[in-house]
Structure 1
Amino acid sequence: MDARTGGSADVIRVLVVDDEPIAADAHAAYVRRLEGFAVAAVAHDGQGTLHALKDAQTAGAPIQLILLDMNLPDLHGLDVSRRIRSAGYGVDIIAITAVRELAIVRGAVSAGIVQYLIKPFTYAAFAEKMANYRQFRRQLETTGAKASQQDVDSAFASLRTPGETPLPKGLKEDTLAAVVGLLRGSTGPVSATETMEALGMSRVTARRYLEFLAESSRAHRGSRYGTGGRPESEYRWIG
């Protein structure tokens, strides 16, 4: 097990589960590169996963997220998920697996798995899924005891990448990816004018893509006041 943990209450404690030590180490290294996440433990089979959850709970530092391989030497990932739910652990699960069978994917949904990431994948794809998950948690945590339909829709929309959200007519996947890349790589909010200049598109087009990301809860829209006193919208990537 890996005892490394974060020092902030906002840090999401992660249990990495994979039967292949090299893959487990790689996924743990990916987690450590992400702000707001910490590796709480690493397990290589189903029983080890259940023991790690119990140990963390007993120590008063419960695990909040499991990165779960489906093909484990003693238990299938779906069986592990069901046992976790039966035991009453309030932990989220992201399946990280090479399994592509539709029956398994459906089973993952019914077992309460919130995300499904197919191997092999790049660090960028992994970081995207984790950022989506973190935003999902944030939105649920800031919602009151009773959620509105908009609260629920917004939280679940945050689990999807922009490409998974149906694009309005006239928007293109490659252009959207470029705008997302610009926002993610920026150290601060970006305006439509700055997007236009960076990506070589019209200001109207830039604003359409930025507004789409804001409306689908992928970016935060704010106001910026220039020297002329007129406010201009600015957009910051969430997560």
Structure 2
Amino acid sequence: MVVVDDDFRVADLHARFVTTVPGFAVLGTAHTAAQALELVAGSAPDLVLLDNHLPDRPGLSVAAELSCDVMIVSADASPATVRGAFTAGAVNFIVKPFTAGLLAARLGAYAKYRQVLSPGAGDLGQPGVDRALAALRQGDRPPTPKGQSPVTARLVADRLRTADQPATAAEVATDLGISRATAQRYLATLAEEGRADVAMRYGTTGRPEHRYSWRTTV
């Protein structure tokens, strides 16, 4: 893997992030578009972590020339920049600054994506293509908090996603056959992650209740 960033300190930091992920190694770092093209040509990496803000030309224009996979990193997350990254062939887009954990999740998902697309896989068909894309997107999902079940988390999320109106923890609990406290815990996590909106509604007794709805703009 090659890491490209105009700031050598940031490049070194991102390189250290990469080395903590099993199965990934940094072949070198570059700080300009010219250096990046030369390094990639000489080392033939599978993946480049490419900053868009480079002193000699934008990273997006470099990405379009590379034959390997690219993840764009940028502090500019405008729609035009994000669209430009995917138009240039990027497999993912990471907004700066980011944590080692976030990068590890993206790289782990990328490794699964490459495994599905291994040369010996043969013709994938639509199911195989779908598996590859699902594997790549898996790293975009926040990890399930410690002590919570991924299965229950998915059920609660699906309950909100398919609902035509906001729901309380009691309603979700009844529908899924779990306790109200459990439903409340998972719903609160979705709200904290920004995947659900929560609003207060006052009942006849004056005691407020939280009503949750899926945030469609996530």
Shorter-chain TM range is 0.5 to 0.7
Equivalent position of 1:68 in the other structure: 50
The structure 1 residue matched to 2:16, chosen from 11, 23, 29, is 29
CA distance in 2, matches of 1:100, 1:78: 13
CA distance in 2, matches of 1:135, 1:161: 9
CA distance in 2, matches of 1:207, 1:69: 36
Listed as ranges, the matches of 1:115-126 within 5 Å are 115-126=92-103
The structure 2 residue matched to 1:98, chosen from 75, 82, 90, is 75
2:39 maps to 1:52: yes
Listed as ranges, the matches of 1:153-232 within 5 Å are 153-161=130-138, 177-178=144-145, 182=146, 198-199=147-148, 207-209=151-153
Is the 1:93–1:113 contact (alpha carbons within 8 Å) kept by the matching residues of 2?
yes
SS in structure 1 of the partner of residue 124 of structure 2: coil
Q: TM-score with structure 1 length normalisation?
A: 0.60
2:90 maps to 1:113: yes
Report the count of equivalent residues.
156
1:83 Cα deviation after fit: 2.2
CA distance in 2, matches of 1:207, 1:82: 39
* Unaligned runs of at least 5 residues, structure 2: 157-218
Is the 2:106–2:140 contact (alpha carbons within 8 Å) kept by the matching residues of 1?
no
CA distance in 2, matches of 1:95, 1:206: 29
Residues 1:206 and 1:110: Cα distance change in structure 2 (over 3 Å): closer
**Identical amino acids, percent of aligned pairs:** 33
SS in structure 1 of the partner of residue 22 of structure 2: coil
CA distance in 1, matches of 2:27, 2:64: 21
CA distance in 1, matches of 2:90, 2:24: 19
Q: CA RMSD in A?
A: 2.4
SS in structure 2 of the partner of residue 93 of structure 1: strand
1:139 Cα deviation after fit: 1.1
Equivalent position of 2:203 in the other structure: none
Larger radius of gyration: 2
Is the 1:16–1:67 contact (alpha carbons within 8 Å) kept by the matching residues of 2?
yes
Q: TM-score with structure 2 length normalisation?
A: 0.65
